[in-house]
Amino acid sequence: KAGVTQTPRYLIKTRGQQVTLSCSPISGHRSVSWYQQTPGQGLQFLFEYFSETQRNKGNFPGRFSGRQFSNSRSEMNVSTLELGDSALYLCASSLGGLALYNEQFFGPGTRLTVL
Amino acid sequence: AQTVTQSQPEMSVQEAETVTLSCTYDTSESDYYLFWYKQPPSRQMILVIRQEAYKQQNATENRFSVNFQKAAKSFSLKISDSQLGDAAMYFCAYRSLNTGTASKLTFGTGTRLQVTL
């Protein structure tokens, strides 16, 4: 079974631009969560999508948004990029059903550099 | 809100020796999950071990075991017979059982483990 894939793996943008990152979950997984990893702030939860609906949201400004498609693939968008948005963006997928515990599997991440 | 603290930014262990990574957390909840994740230089995060707070028995996975002290809110990871492949960043993480936040992981700042010959 293929793992979680993220595209692109590396991205360089300039301040003020916008960017879209993509995450394809493991087949059969309906939940996708996004995390931002930076040296200063560590790993922080951005949001989670389940069955095309945002189910949970972290404490990030509205410039960060996401969506999920009917095939469970998810995209996150960052508008008006700032230097501080430079980070590794990780997505994680899980079955996301009613069970108390569904293991989350992480993708390799997208390294975003904002110049 | 929950917080997770890892007070050891870096640790070093010799191959075949045992090392313990520390983690403390703060929560007002009584039921939750705790995890240790490993992030090798290739960056893909891998689950090492999971502990359910309602279970008194400490979780073990081969060479990895935890010491879960619920009252003290402490959750340390012991790696026995360390191998070169164990070198990585290790993150302690908390997950609520609240269905509204069930998928959200709260991470500590990580401990970089070096394994020397």
User: Given pLDDT bands bounded at 50, 70 and 90, which one contains residue B96?
Assistant: confident
Q: What integer is the mean pLDDT of A53-66?
A: 94
Residue B77 and residue B49: Cα distance in Å, rounded? 9
User: Given pLDDT bands bounded at 50, 70 and 90, which one contains residue B97?
Assistant: confident
Whether the Cβ atoms of residue B92 and residue B25 lie closer than 8 Å to each other: yes
Residue B81's pLDDT is 97
pLDDT tens track for B61-90: 999 999 999 999 999 999 999 999 999 999
Residue A1 has pLDDT above 80, yes or no: no
Percent of chain B with pLDDT over 70: 97
Shortest Cα distance, chain B CAs vs residue A51, angstroms: 14
Residue B101's pLDDT is 63
User: Given pLDDT bands bounded at 50, 70 and 90, which one contains residue A54?
Assistant: very high
Shortest Cα distance, chain B CAs vs residue A65, angstroms: 16
User: How many residues does the structure list for chain B?
Assistant: 117
Task: Name the token pair of A46.
Answer: 């951005």
Q: CB–CB of B103 and A100 under 8 A?
A: no
Q: Is B51 on the interface with A (CB under 8 A)?
A: no
Q: CB–CB of A43 and B103 under 8 A?
A: no
Question: What burial letters (b/e) apply to A10-23, b meaning 16+ CB within 10 Å?
Answer: eeebeeeeebebbb
pLDDT tens track for A79-115: 999 999 999 999 999 987 766 677 899 999 999 999 9
Amino acid (1-letter code) at residue B18: T
User: Given pLDDT bands bounded at 50, 70 and 90, which one contains residue A11?
Assistant: very high
Residue B17 has pLDDT above 70, yes or no: yes
Q: What integer is the mean pLDDT of B39-66?
A: 92
Whether the Cβ atoms of residue B62 and residue B44 lie closer than 8 Å to each other: no
Residue B19 has pLDDT above 70, yes or no: yes
Amino acid (1-letter code) at residue B61: E
Residue B80 and residue B109: Cα distance in Å, rounded? 23
Q: CB–CB of A103 and B47 under 8 A?
A: yes
CA distances from B42 to A63, B5, B22, B66 (A): 28, 24, 23, 25
Residue B8's pLDDT is 96
